[in-house]
Amino acid sequence: MKVTINDVAKLSGVSIKTVSRVMNNEASVRQATRDKVMAAVKQLNYQPNLAARSLAGTKSYNIAYIYDNPNAYYIIDMQNGILSECRKQSFELLIHPCNSKSVDILEEITTMIRHSRIAGVVLTPPFSEMPNVVDRLNDLGVKFVRIFSGHTVPDTLSPCIMVNDFDAAFEITEHLIELGHQEIGFISGGKEHKSTFERIEGFKAALAKNEITCREDLIIDGEYSFESGVQGAQTLLAKSTRPTAIFSCNDEIAAGALFASRLENVAIPEELSIVGFENSPFSRQTWPKITTADQPNQTIAQNATALLINEIREQKSEEICEQFTPKLLVRDSSGTAKTDS
């Protein structure tokens, strides 16, 4: 026989309403009562029907993750982080991929929110950096949290998680400079992502600090894809004066650059150092493994979801914005610059 909320209430000696408040993680419940109810939940192995709860009540317990990102590993990490926090706090997750460049994107988001009774939305780039999407969510009265590249809080429109790509890119570039590299190529990601510009600016700032001239011909436009890394590296390796190192805007680009270098019989890192960004599986599935910046996407997503749920429940948090700075992770793809002597 299926265990019901009535069984939990009876075993714990409280009302059904109190059990519901505990399951909804409402802050007004005393800790002793919460412990008693959760002990009964564990003993009975009670599994609340979250979908039915949302339909039956006036509150929604559905969170949506809206995304448009070519990096499958990034998406999976974000989904896992959001889902982990949703399960912890008894919320359901709706995953909604869509095309950020569609002319109907605002109407698509509006329809999804209304039809699915969404209480809150997790936004990642590029949606988190699109003012028209933010304005539409505000108009709909839906809570949202933004994950985006930056190191200063841009406004107070929502809780946010900022990823300090600038400082991380600066640190990676300094690592290459300390290895003796002066001619460093850069393969960028898509320009619809703010992270691309933050990483380029961090790269340039490190060069400037070390009084190294930034060669604009060594900065290659690209996309966040393996193919873009291949094409970018081919362009750089065709230069009359080849770079001794390549900074790739993410690990997928770096893996493509490494592949193209192999085709040209360029030894890594003896003749060319290659670094990436994010510490995705791409950086660990190559040979040699790629030096990168460790960006904890699952933790970022989990923390963002916790901030969002606090907003939905109108629970005040001391911090509504958090910042993560990816940390340098040195592997075998970066080495001392080759000299002619």
Q: Are residues 84 and 160 in the same domain?
A: yes
Average pLDDT over residues 16-41: 78
How many structural domains are present in the chain? 3
Query: Are 12 and 113 contained in the same domain?
Result: no
Query: 79 or 23: which carries more pLDDT confidence?
Result: 79
Residues 126 and 183 in one domain: no
End-of-domain residue from the set 275, 294, 313 = 294
CB-based contact 236:183 (threshold 8 Å):
no
Q: Do 219 and 156 fall into the same domain? A: no
What residue numbers bound the domain in which 30 lies? 5-48
Higher pLDDT, 7 or 171: 171
Q: How far is CA 333 from CA 176, 257, 269, 274, 290, in A?
A: 11, 11, 5, 6, 5
- Structure-derived torsion over alpha carbons of residues 228, 229, 233, 236, reported in degrees to the nearest 10: 60
Task: Answer with the residue of higher pLDDT: 177 or 53.
Answer: 177
Mean pLDDT over 272-280 rounds to 97
**Comparing 7 with 258, which gets the higher pLDDT?**
258
Any domain includes 333: no
Is 127 in the same domain as 239? no
pLDDT at 211 over 50: yes
pLDDT in tens, 284-300: 999 999 999 999 999 99
Distances from the Cα of 202 to the Cα of 134, 170, 247, 290, angstroms: 27, 4, 11, 19
pLDDT higher than threshold 70 for residue 27 = no
- Which one has a higher pLDDT value, 313 or 244? 244
Provide the pLDDT for residue 338.
Answer: 81
Domain membership flag for residue 276: yes
pLDDT at 312 over 80: yes
- pLDDT value at residue 9: 83
Please give the pLDDT value at position 93: 94
Q: Is the pLDDT of residue 63 over 90?
A: yes
Q: How far apart are CA 48 and CA 105, in angstroms?
A: 34
In this model, does residue 231 exceed pLDDT 90?
yes
Any domain includes 337: no
Of the pLDDT bands very low, low, confident and very high (cuts 50, 70, 90), residue 341 is: very low
Using pLDDT thresholds of 50, 70 and 90, give the confidence band for residue 278: very high
Q: 169 and 126 share a domain? A: no
Task: Provide, rounded to the nearest whole percent, the portion of the chain with pLDDT above 90.
Answer: 72
The answer to which of 54-58, 137-141, 289-293, 323-327 has the lowest mean pLDDT is 54-58
Is the pLDDT at 305 greater than 90? The verdict is: yes
CATH of the domain at 271: 3.40.50.2300
Q: Classify residue 335: in a domain, yes or no.
A: no
User: Are 237 and 257 members of one domain?
Assistant: yes
274 within a domain of the structure (yes/no): yes
Is the pLDDT at 15 greater than 50? The verdict is: yes
Q: How confident is the model at residue 24 (pLDDT cuts 50, 70, 90)?
A: low
Read off the amino acid at residue 323: Q
> How confident is the prediction for the chain on average, in pLDDT?
90
Q: Work out the average pLDDT over 242-256.
A: 97
* Higher pLDDT, residue 85 or 22: 85
Q: Note whether 316 and 289 are same-domain residues.
A: no
Helical axes 31-44 vs 5-12, angle rounded to 10°: 120
Mean pLDDT of 130-142: 93
**Cα–Cα dist 257/246, whole Å:** 8
- Strands 327-329 and 292-294, by their bridges, are antiparallel
Sequence-distant (≥ 6) Cβ neighbours of residue 30 within 8 angstroms:
none
Residues 14, 78, single domain; the answer is no
Q: 128 with 190, same domain?
A: no
What pLDDT sits at residue 195? 94
pTM above 0.85, yes or no: no
Tell me which residue of 253, 281, 257 sits closest to 268, measured CA to CA.
Answer: 257
Give 22's pLDDT tier (boundaries 50, 70, 90). Answer: confident
In a domain, 340, yes or no: no
Evaluate if residue 84 carries a pLDDT over 80. yes
The whole-number pLDDT of residue 56 equals 42
> Residue 252 has which token pair?
């997928």
Look at residue 170 and tell me whether its pLDDT is greater than 70: yes
Do residues 272 and 204 share a domain? yes
SS3 content of the chain, % helix, strand, coil (to 5): 45, 15, 40
Provide the 8-state DSSP code for 7.
Answer: H
The pLDDT, as a whole number, for residue 340 is: 58
Q: Is residue 127 part of a domain?
A: yes
Q: Is residue 201 part of a domain?
A: yes
Bond before 126 cis per omega within 30 degrees:
yes
Q: Is the pLDDT of residue 59 over 60?
A: yes
Q: Are residues 171 and 142 in the same domain?
A: no
